[in-house]
Amino acid sequence: MRGFWPILKREVFTFFVTPLAWVLICVFLLVQGMHFYLLVDHFSNQAEVISDQTPLQAFFGNTVLLYLVLFLLVPPITMRLFAEERRSGTVETLLTAPVSPAAVVLAKYVSALVTYVSMWAPTVLYLVILNRTGPIDWHVASAAYLGVFCVGAGYLSLGLLMSALTKSQFLALILTAMCIMGLFILGVGEFVTHEGQTLHDVCAHVSVWAHMNDFGSGIIDSRRLVFYGSIVALSLFCTTRVVDSWRWGDA
Amino acid sequence: MISVRNLVKHYGSHVAVDDLSFEVEKGSVVGFLGPNGAGKSTTLRILSGFLGRTAGEVTIDGHQVDTYDAKRATGYMPEAVPLYPEMRVVEYLRFRAELKEVPRKDRRPFVDLAMERARVTDVATRTIGDLSKGYRQRVGLADALVAKPPLLILDEPTAGLDPNQMREVRDVIKGLGKEHTVLLSTHILSEVEASCDEVVVINKGKLVARGTKEEIQKKRRSAGLSFVVRGDKATCVRVLTQSGSFGKITTTPDAQDPALLNAEARWKKGLAEPGLATEAAVAALLGAGLFVRSVTVEKSTLEDVFAELTRAAVPTSADAVEPEQEDE
């Protein structure tokens, strides 16, 4: 794991000294703020609580806004990571330093994860605000955040792989968005296929909607953890192999 | 310091490096010379551990290439000098020092020293993206130096610089030779003359020649003379041919003044004393009643040197550039 720390520090540094980070954070918090406002407004206008879900559940996954935000947020975080290094040639100085490809991949991945988490961090304030009007089940909230983290971790690892596959940031962005969309649409397939079919089971298994509903209700299902863990492990492994392969071709 | 044995590199069906072998001694400054596309960058990238090789043995300071130890022993500056534009110079160098495992307490002094030696101290707090090409080149050099590696590999360190910047970078490199072994690539002969002790010449991925700077310089001494003469063309050609020192002679009428004649004469192969031959040729022209406006010594180009070096299988005069290997 030689070179892990300095690369991680530099990646996080780079993200926050470029305008991209602040634009992303602004957009993200704006959308989330609006999301929160709409939910609070909706629930406060109900004369009596007839809903079978809490604002918390709604916030984490029962409106399409959460997924929209994920589609918008993840590809721009990861698009730069390898594509830019290859386009500008800095990958040559990076890989000729005494570092291992695995450390480079992991450092870049963790930096994306750190960025992602730091974007979500301010949303805890919403829960603090909610807590002033009524009790919050912090266990459920934690599970929901674990869900957000898992889904993000999976998507970011896919984004990292896409970024390693191309020299163009834009192409990396598009490819990542397509992958995430693809997974989402496959998940939606759960609702259009019939129960009992293999396809239905597959769709239900990858459905991010179902995953977030579980997490948002405070259910931590080990299948979900294994699913996202596998995505992360597979993507990172593939990325390492891709980085290794640059030695044999035109990087 | 560097030992390359039978190195081969293929890009698909294209052979970039073809059975190349050479050694670089500790403490020398070696110029890696060749025309564009000769395989210089490919070889240096293999030495730096960035590219894999198809076949052959490469060791750096006794370590197999592409290992941690080999990479730690090497400071590599790629041809395009890629840098992170959003970082400040000092931030970048601290990052590189940490990446190259300079211990924490040494980092500040190492970075300061590298900046001083590459002469970038005055832009330490500037953002790299705002720097001129010359400064960027030297920041790249500072990066190669920062961990004080015993070996420096510099790929065309003066490419794209103006003459002043070139001289500055060459001066810096000359100073480095005292503490580091330096291997630098170039396609400019005068650059080798300015900064190297030894030369390795390659062409089309094969070793063409290697020798000391003096041996290569001898080859370059002079390729021929060019005269501006007033008088009869036929006489001029006859006199020059009779002098016996020249091979090919070409004459063209001067564009501005029809009375003048431009004559270009190449030395015969293996001519021992071009200085004396020049004197004799001028005397002969004057003796034949021609007026000589100017005599210019034509320095040979890299291509001429290559032509001469590849012919060197036939030993000529006192020149001792040994062809280590011929085309098979």
Instruction: Look at residue B60 and tell me if it is in a domain.
Output: yes
Let me know whether B120 and B245 are in one domain: no
Q: Which residues of A touch B45 (CB under 8 A)?
A: 92
Burial group, residue B77, by CB count within 10 angstroms (0-12, 13-18, 19+)? buried
Let me know whether B26 and B151 are in one domain: yes
Distance CA A159, CA A179 (A): 8
- Inter-chain CB proximity B84 and A14 less than 8 Å: yes
Of A7, A88, A96, the CB nearest to B76: A96
Sign of CA dihedral B53, B56, B60, B64: positive
pLDDT digit string (tens) for B112-139? 999 998 889 999 999 999 999 889 999 9
Let me know whether B214 and B227 are in one domain: no
Q: Select the more confidently predicted residue: A234 or A209.
A: A234
Of A10, A13, A98, the CB nearest to B68: A98
Task: Answer yes or no: is pLDDT of B160 > 90.
Answer: no
* ipTM associated with this complex: 0.87
Which candidate in A96, A167, A244 is best for mutational testing of the B interface (most B CBs within 10 A)? Answer: A96
Residue A246: closest C-alpha in chain B: B51
Distance CA A131, CA A122 (A): 15
- Residue A79's nearest CA partner among A155, A173, A14 is A173
> What confidence score (pLDDT) does residue A77 get?
92
- For chain B, the average pLDDT equals 83
pLDDT digit string (tens) for B26-41? 888 898 888 788 889 9
Of A2, A92, A95, the CB nearest to B68: A2
Residue B51: closest C-alpha in chain A: A247
Number of domains in chain B: 2
- Inter-chain CB proximity A6 and B82 less than 8 Å: no
Give the pLDDT band of residue A84 (cuts 50, 70, 90). Answer: very high
∠ CA A167-A169-A171, nearest 5°, is 85
Identify the helix (H) or strand (E) that includes residue B198: strand B198-203
Let me know whether B163 and B229 are in one domain: no
Residue B156 touches chain A, beta carbons under 8 Å = no
Task: Answer yes or no: is pLDDT of B52 > 70.
Answer: yes
- Inter-chain CB proximity B99 and A251 less than 8 Å: no
Distance CA A174, CA A184 (A): 15
Q: Which residues of A touch B85 (CB under 8 A)?
A: 88
Residue B129 touches chain A, beta carbons under 8 Å = no
Let me know whether B214 and B232 are in one domain: no
Distance CA B98, CA A95 (A): 14
Q: Where are the domains of chain A?
A: 4-248
Separation in Å, CA A96 to CA A4, B50, B67, B78, B284: 14, 6, 10, 10, 61
Q: A165 CB contacts (<8 Å, ≥6 apart)?
A: A172, A175, A242
Distance CA B306, CA A142 (A): 72
Instruction: Look at residue B320 and tell me if it is in a domain.
Output: no
Let me know whether B19 and B95 are in one domain: yes
Q: Which residues of B touch A88 (CB under 8 A)?
A: 82, 84-85
Instruction: Map tokens 């596959």 to a residue.
Output: A165
> What confidence score (pLDDT) does residue A50 get?
58
- Residue B24's nearest CA partner among B33, B16, B32 is B32
> What confidence score (pLDDT) does residue A90 get?
93
Let me know whether B213 and B286 are in one domain: no
Neighbours of B299 (CB within 10 A): 14
Instruction: Look at residue B29 and tell me if it is in a domain.
Output: yes
Let me know whether B155 and B177 are in one domain: yes
Q: B276 CB contacts (<8 Å, ≥6 apart)?
A: none
Q: Select the more confidently predicted residue: B312 or B315.
A: B312
Let me know whether B58 and B172 are in one domain: yes
Q: Are A79 and A176 in contact (CB under 8 A)?
A: yes
Choosing from B197, B219, B241, the residue where a domain stops is B219
Largest CA distance in chain B: 78
CB pairs under 8 A between A and B: 70
Let me know whether B239 and B168 are in one domain: no
* CATH code of the domain containing B168: 3.40.50.300
Tell me the DSSP string of A70-125. HHHHHHHHHTHHHHHHHHHTHHHHHHHSS--HHHHHHHHHHHHHHHHHHHHGGGHH
Shortest Cα distance, chain B CAs vs residue A82, angstroms: 13
Give the pLDDT band of residue B263 (cuts 50, 70, 90). Answer: confident
Q: Are A87 and A170 in contact (CB under 8 A)?
A: no
- B89 is written with which tokens? 């110079």
Choosing from B189, B219, B249, the residue where a domain stops is B219
Task: Give CA torsion, residues A18, A24, A25, A27, to 10 deg.
Answer: 140
- Inter-chain CB proximity B86 and A17 less than 8 Å: yes
Shortest Cα distance, chain A CAs vs residue B313, angstroms: 36
Range of the domain at B188: 2-219
Q: Are A210 and A187 in contact (CB under 8 A)?
A: yes
> What confidence score (pLDDT) does residue B303 get?
64
Let me know whether B213 and B281 are in one domain: no
Of B52, B91, B99, the CB nearest to A97: B99
